[in-house]
Amino acid sequence: MNRLVPLLLLTFACLLSSCHAQDTSQPITTLPPVEVYFSPKGGCTEAVVKELNAAKANVLVQAYSFTSTPIAKALLEAHKRGVKVEVVALLR
């Protein structure tokens, strides 16, 4: 037990010094807000369709199962706008 206390203090000191030694020359940037949706009836489909409609360059989709008609239509519309759409899904 007596050997554990100095080890814990040393570990704490190292952690504290590494936190204090962060580079502050670069401004801290904030991340975009996180949004949470649920499915069904929790706004998930609408949120995905909104993001697909805003896509400009590419859309990558990975899904085990895919049954949403509104999302399928939004993917097709994105493709028609020239967005590169790639889907990986299980074929049955």
What is the value of pTM for the model shown?
0.62
Percent residues over pLDDT 90 in the chain? 41
Could you give the C-alpha distances from 72 to 22, 40, 57, in angstroms and in order? Answer: 46, 16, 17
Q: How far apart are CA 54 and CA 47, in angstroms?
A: 11
Domain ranges within the chain, ordered by starting residue: 57-92
pLDDT digits (tens, 9 = 90+) for 41-86: 889 999 999 999 999 999 999 988 888 999 999 999 999 999 999 9
